[in-house]
Amino acid sequence: MLTQIINARILTPQGWLKDGSVLIRDNKILEVTNCDLAIIGAKLIDAKGMYIVPGGVEIHVHGGGGRDFMEGTEDAFRTAIKAHMQHGTTSIFPTLSSSTIPMIRAAAETTEKMMAEPDSPVLGLHLEGHYFNMAMAGGQIPENIKDPDPEEYIPLLEETHCIKRWDAAPELPGAMQFGKYITAKGVLASVGHTQAEFEDIQTAYEAGYTHATHFYNAMPGFHKRKEYKYEGTVESIYLIDDMTVEVVADGIHVPPTILRLVYKIKGVERTCLITDALACAASDSQTAFDPRVIIEDGVCKLADRSALAGSVATMDRLIRTMVQKAEIPLADVIRMISETPARIMGVLDRKGTLERGKDADIIALDKDLNVRAVWAMGQLVEGTNKLF
């Protein structure tokens, strides 16, 4: 089956293409061209002048549609993934908050089963924890938090093949050995829920930690101890040019002015956008998987309001927040939801841009940046055919 999207403003790696077309055959992009003459035999889709951009690559998301990935079941995974795909996510790394080893094993089993399915949006499992600084636990479940334990993580990575990212606080005992071990296994090591200062971050970077988990959240910035001033985790990460960052771009976890600052300092190629969404995202649910969490002011918080605990955002909200509130050009915002996370997670060879030979993961956005259609691996996502 040959499909042709015409009459579109298409974002290519070279920039915007006006009045071009995208040709899709089966699950791949056959061609992106500046000619929108109809091809005989192709199924024509008139984009009506809308933006046609790469699908979102979500590298940090806990759930959606009323279900949480910590449940570990296939039903929970499918429900949450479907909910996010209706909002522009086409590739996903399901994320577990600090969990027990049996919970991780259950989620890994489900992840591996789904990764093996044809044209699956699931690209791997992300473990956010449980090797964190207790003082920076935030919305994490405190009883699951501990120091890195090789008797846990070595067998887990030997037995499974789906863990693609693991976050830890680098100042903990054993964190450097942990970082070296997991990166040798091809797993992205990320700094998170930490009180690390510059020497910790520098050492961590040398040990393989190249990414920062929800930058600015659950990490200190510039601070004083008595009369002296110290750099925080934030400034330390800024100073290491090649460290990449992710930001929860809902306009609440990080205010628009700071989103603009991250973009200005780290740039498009080292900044990606995440939802960090909980189960209540993309649903009518008013409860979170964790009973300590409440939903208020368009965000998830601990009930005592001591910390944010995740978002209710979806991929389209990230786009609108960055363009409309942080005033960042749409092309750069799209790259930060697609190309950059694909590069960080090592899947840019097949995801993240609209180019010949890549997977046909595509979003149609109207002038108000609402999602009007989503194609994942060339298939129109159920509930998103609002072009017609």
Q: Does some domain include residue 134?
A: yes
What are the residues whose beta carbons fall under 8 Å from the beta carbon of 91, sequence distance 6 or more?
Answer: 55, 56, 57, 58, 121, 123, 342, 347, 351, 361
Domain hosting residue 18, numbered range:
1-50+355-378
Supply the CATH number for residue 281's domain: 3.20.20.140
Q: Does some domain include residue 349?
A: no
Confirm or deny that 193 is annotated as ligand binding.
yes
Does 335 share its domain with 374?
no
Lowest mean pLDDT among 139-143, 148-152, 290-294: 290-294
Does 69 share its domain with 23?
no
Predicted confidence (pLDDT) per residue in 26-61, tens digit: 999 999 999 888 899 999 999 999 999 999 999 999
Q: Does some domain include residue 233?
A: yes
pLDDT of residue 253: 96
Does 14 share its domain with 142?
no
Q: Does some domain include residue 74?
A: yes
Does 3 share its domain with 104?
no
Lowest mean pLDDT among 43-47, 143-147, 183-187, 381-385: 381-385
pLDDT of residue 37: 87
pLDDT at 351 over 90: yes
Q: Of 36, 167, 200, 276, which is the active-site residue?
A: 276
Supply the CATH number for residue 20's domain: 2.30.40.10
pLDDT of residue 293: 87
Does 105 share its domain with 124?
yes
Does 361 share its domain with 241?
no
Integer Cα distance of 22 and 358 in angstroms: 12
Q: Does some domain include residue 67?
A: yes
Does 86 share its domain with 14?
no
Does 154 share its domain with 257?
yes
Which residues share a beta bridge with 31? Answer: 23
Q: Does some domain include residue 150?
A: yes
Confirm or deny that 214 is annotated as ligand binding.
yes
pLDDT band at 290 (very low <50, low <70, confident <90, very high): confident
Does 44 share its domain with 139?
no
The reply to whether 276 belongs to the active site is yes
Q: Does some domain include residue 371?
A: yes
Does 124 share its domain with 106?
yes
Dihedral sign for Cα atoms in the order 89, 346, 324, 285: positive
Predicted confidence (pLDDT) per residue in 85-127, tens digit: 999 999 999 999 999 999 999 999 999 999 999 999 999 999 9
Count up the domains in the chain and report the number.
2
pLDDT of residue 388: 61
Predicted confidence (pLDDT) per residue in 193-223, tens digit: 999 999 999 999 999 999 999 999 999 999 8
What is the Rg, in whole angstroms, of the alpha carbon atoms belonging to the chain? 20
Integer Cα distance of 15 and 12 in angstroms: 5
pLDDT of residue 219: 97
Does 13 share its domain with 162?
no
Q: What is the mean pLDDT of residues 313-339?
A: 98
pLDDT at 287 over 80: no
Does 86 share its domain with 34?
no
pLDDT of residue 381: 97
